[in-house]
Amino acid sequence: MQLVWDNLPFLLKGAGYTLLITIISMFFGLIIGVIVAIARMQGNRPIRWVARFYVSIIRGTPVLVQLVIVYYGLTDYGITLDAIPAACIALSINIGAYLSETFRGAILSIPKGQTEAAYATGMTSAQTMWRIVLPQAARTAIPPMGNTFIGMLKETSLVSVITVTDLLRSADLLIAQYYVYMPFYIGIAIMYWIMSTIFSTILERIERRLAKAY
């Protein structure tokens, strides 16, 4: 493992890209997920159909295929993206589809009596959604959303195929230099585990605070 320690700064730089892509993708994925969930529940028929089709096509195709479509496929139409923006776009679109189902289930779990009470006080549908439903749905959505977030952190390893020097690609470059596999793969496995554990702890604390708030 001495090689891992000697090259730890290089691996940490790769881990930094992994975290950057994960956080950006999760942020925009959350926005997409909320919008799509609301569209499926409150939109008109064409909007609901489009939202349902989006979820179906994204969940029915591999993340790797989505990555290469965004990074390589779009060049056929004159759209060239750098590797990191392409990775963030593809992963945001992917995670948004999964989170939309999480949010939709959380929203449906809110008793209808609360929305009816909100309407009785004069709130509009939009006000009811943003002030009453979504804050409570967020608490319900945190546990499954946390699992999705951890999954996203690990799925970022796929971005190495579009030349992003993430944690996995950093290890591969070192392996090509030293012709040694196991120490580097064990090293990055430990680093992924540490990052996943940290995020799990953060999400658990958020969940406990939301539980106290409601």
Please give the mean pLDDT across all residues of the chain: 87
pTM for the full predicted model: 0.86
Residues 7-25 have a mean pLDDT of 93
Torsion of CA 130, 131, 132, 133, to 10 degrees: 20
Range scoring the smallest mean pLDDT among 12-16, 143-147, 167-171: 143-147
Rounded CA separation 153/202 (Å): 14
CB < 8 Å & 24+ apart, contacts of 111-118: none
Whether 140 shows a pLDDT value over 60: the answer reads: yes
pLDDT at 212 over 70: no
pLDDT on residue 214: 56
Q: How many domains does one find in the chain?
A: 1
- Does 126 or 94 have the greater pLDDT score? 94
User: Residue 131: pLDDT above 80?
Assistant: no
Say if residues 58 and 90 touch (Cβ distance below 8 Å). Answer: no
**Greatest mean pLDDT range, 104-108, 140-144, 156-160:** 156-160
Q: Could you give the percent of the chain with pLDDT greater than 90?
A: 52
- CA 113 – CA 122 distance, rounded (Å): 15
DSSP assignment of 123-152 equals --HHHHIIIIIHHHHHHHHHHHHHHHHHHH
* DSSP assignments along the chain, one per residue: -HHHHHTHHHHHHHHHHHHHHHHHHHHHHHHHHHHHHHHHHHS-HHHHHHHHHHHHHHHTS-HHHHHHHHHTGGGGGT----HHHHHHHHHHHHHHHHHHHHHHHHHHTS-HHHHHHHHHTT--HHHHIIIIIHHHHHHHHHHHHHHHHHHHHHHGGGGGGGT---HHHHHHHHHHHH---HHHHHHHHHHHHHHHHHHHHHHHHHHHHHHHH-
CATH code, domain with 203? 1.10.3720.10
The answer, yes or no, to whether residue 182 has pLDDT greater than 80, is yes
Domain housing 164: 2-213
Percentage with pLDDT > 70 across the chain: 98
Could you read off the pLDDT of 25-44 as tens digits, one per residue?
Answer: 999 999 999 899 888 887 78
Q: What is the mean pLDDT of residues 119-129?
A: 74
Residue 175: count of CB within 10 angstroms of its CB: 16
